[in-house]
Structures are given as structure tokens and as C-alpha cells.
Structure 1
Amino acid sequence: MLLPELDHKATIKQVKRFFGKDFQTLQNMAHVSYMDIKSPTLSDLPNKSVASNGIDSKMNNHMYAIEMLAEVKEALSGIKEDSRKFIEYRYFKQLTWYDITELTGYSRTQSNKLLNSALIEFAYAFVDTEDLRVIKQTRTQ
């Protein structure tokens, strides 16, 4: 059996929405802000073991957010470091494209392509927590 075909454009849009909206909400719910930290890294995210209180933590928005942020950290640790850097620059540090191109030496177009590739990697790595992938519909005749 072949793997279903991924709709890259729609998947990238889903992951961007996650980092642009849901990730920010989770940070607020967890009372954690990575934007005020000068150089946030994966070590700044909570560990998965922090939120393992069973059913009670699921009922608490704060603990849920901490748990989800730990899942994000785990998924990010499973993708290539170069890819992870683009996600960190854009969504953790909220750098402009100008700043990203200055840091990486890549053009804006190339940086955007590398970020999109990183977002696809993240979608696969995060699938056990939340499936952000969009699968192309096959036509049946």
C-alpha cells in the first residue's frame, strides 16, 4: 500500500495557522512567552514529563497548554536542525524575513522554501498529537 498523497500547499497553510494562532494561544494559556526571551531555544519549552498528571491535567487549561507545548518541543526535536531553525526564527522569535535572510545568508525566496519544507516535516513529526496534514482526495470512478 502506498502512502496517501499529501497536499503540500494545504498542509503548509494548516501548520502556519497552528503556529500563528494555536501556538500563541497555548503560550498564553501556559503563561509562557517566548517573544520576551532574547534567544529562545527548544530547551526553553516545557518538558513532556512536566504535565503527566493524568486525567486531572486534561481538565485544566493551563496544564493542557503545557502538555501541548511539550508535544511541540518533542516534534521539533524530531526534525532536522536546519529546518527547526527556520521555525524557531519565524514563530518563536518572530523575526522578519529581512532578519532571517541576514542570519541565514539565504534569499527570502529560498528561506521561504526552506521554512515551508520545515513545516511539512513538522506536520509529519506532530501527527501523533494533532494531524495537521492535508491528504489529497483521490477521485473514484
Structure 2
Amino acid sequence: MALLAKIDDKETIKNVKDFFNNDFERIQRLSKSSINISSPIIDGMPKVQPVNNVNENKYIKAANFRLAFNAVIDAVNDCSDTGRVIIIKRLIQHKPQWQVAQEVQYQSSRYYDYYNDACLEFADNLEYRTAILGDDDLLLDLHAYQH
């Protein structure tokens, strides 16, 4: 794949919208989940230790959701001022498009251009923010690529 593969803008914009409609709130909820820690029960009988630590896996999973959520927030904050307002008001707060267009002071025809640009900008930012985490499991790439 070339350094900058051809992106399908229309599908990428759809992916961003789907991400905020289906995944973002779940990532947000899971990033705030707490892990209950209980003391080991000692009954004097020898036991075989499990191969993997269940609590450790829970900590890692919770930490990964926090990292992913923080990466999303950073990606939003990395957007241009107009893009950030559009992403927050339209895709996170689910305000009607006409209301967001009024807030950014654009006519509806021009607003859609800015909306599309904001989605594409967010997709780029999110890919970067999750890539620098250094864990392929955390990479969130919302781009749709042309074949």
C-alpha cells in the first residue's frame, strides 16, 4: 500500500457518522468502568494457579478503553475550530443539522461541505492518535479505501 492510499471520502464520512452513532458512547461507558478487586481467599488447601491472571486481563481491557476514549477526545480537539464544533454539536450531542449550521454561521449548502471536511479531518486525526499508542488492537481507522 502506498503511503497515502486513495480514500473513498463518501464512505469515510459514513464510517465517521456510524462510529459516533454506534461505538463512541460504548467506548465512553467502558472507559469509565471500574474493576472490583477482592482479596484472595486462603483456605489452606493448595491450588493450581491459572495460566493467565483474570484481574490483570480486566485491568488491561479497562486501560485500553480509557486509552481509546482519550484518543477520540484528542482527535476531536485536534480538528479545526469549525470542525471541532461540528463534530461535538452534531455527532456527539446529536443536535439538528440546521442548529449546528446556525452555530457555525454557515448556510446549509456550505455547512455540508464543512460537515464533510470535519468528518474527514476527524478520521485522519483518529487514525494518527490511535496509531501513536503503539498497539494494533487500539488502532481505529475509519477510512474507507478505494480499490
Report if TM-score (shorter chain) is over 0.5: yes
The CA distance in 2 between the partners of 1:73 and 1:104, in whole Å, is 20
Question: How many positions carry a matched residue from both structures?
Answer: 114
Question: Does residue 143 of structure 2 align to residue 133 of structure 1?
Answer: yes
In structure 2, the gaps of 5 or more residues are: 34-55, 132-138
Question: Does residue 82 of structure 2 align to residue 73 of structure 1?
Answer: no
Conserved? CA contact 2:82–2:104, under 8 Å: no
Conserved? CA contact 2:84–2:118, under 8 Å: yes
Cα shift at 1:64: 3.6
| Secondary structure of the corresponding residue to residue 132 of structure 1 | coil
Q: Deviations over 1:17-49 (max 9, x none)?
A: 1111101222233459xxxxxxxxxxxxxxxxx
Change (3 A) 1:59 1:65: closer
- Aligned-pair RMSD on alpha carbons? 2.3
Cα shift at 1:117: 0.7
Cα shift at 1:5: 1.0
Q: Deviations over 1:69-103 (max 9, x none)?
A: 10101212222122111101102222111211221
In structure 1, the gaps of 5 or more residues are: 33-53
Q: How does 1:1-141 map to 2 (within 5 A)?
A: 3-31=4-32, 57-60=59-62, 63-127=63-127, 128=131, 129-137=139-147
The CA distance in 1 between the partners of 2:93 and 2:61, in whole Å, is 30
TM-score of the superposed pair, with normalisation by structure 1: 0.69
Change (3 A) 1:81 1:55: farther
